[in-house]
Amino acid sequence: MLFDWGALSKLMADYETLFFLVLTALTFVLVGMGFIVYLMILGEREKNRVRAQLDSFRRIDAELVCPHSFGYLSGNPPNEPVPDECFGCPKAVECMNGHKAKDTNLVTGEDPE
């Protein structure tokens, strides 16, 4: 006989609790590693989604052409109505202030360059 199954059976009976504890611990480790990898993949997907959205906002911003000069609203008299095309403009607040807002990273507060 090549292998003594009786000896293995006796060994497993002696260390049965330890065997199942080790097996359970390894299962938790593997599941935890899988969860971490899953979160990393989700993080990359979310980062790519946010970058794509930011790029689309930048493209829209670059395509936006004002029929008036920049700062028109800051020099507009208070009793005069605001032009209709200014209501949907994302630069309306900057135009009212008369200067461009500084483009900064909202998380770190640093310039993008």
Ordered per-residue pLDDT tens for the chain, 113 residues: 577 878 878 877 778 888 888 999 999 999 999 999 999 999 899 999 989 888 887 777 666 677 777 777 788 777 888 888 787 777 778 888 776 555 545 455 555 55
Report pLDDT for 63. 61
Structure tokens that stand for 3 in this block: 């292998």
Whether residue 71 sits in one domain with residue 24? no
Report pLDDT for 96. 80
pTM for this entry: 0.37
- Asked whether the beta carbons of 69 and 76 are under 8 A apart, the reply is no
Shortest CA distance to 90 belongs to which of 112, 113, 58? 58
* Structural domain range at position 17: 1-63
Q: Is residue 110 one of the residues assigned to a domain?
A: no
Whether residue 78 sits in one domain with residue 41? no
Q: Is residue 41 one of the residues assigned to a domain?
A: yes
Q: Is residue 108 one of the residues assigned to a domain?
A: no
Whether residue 54 sits in one domain with residue 72? no
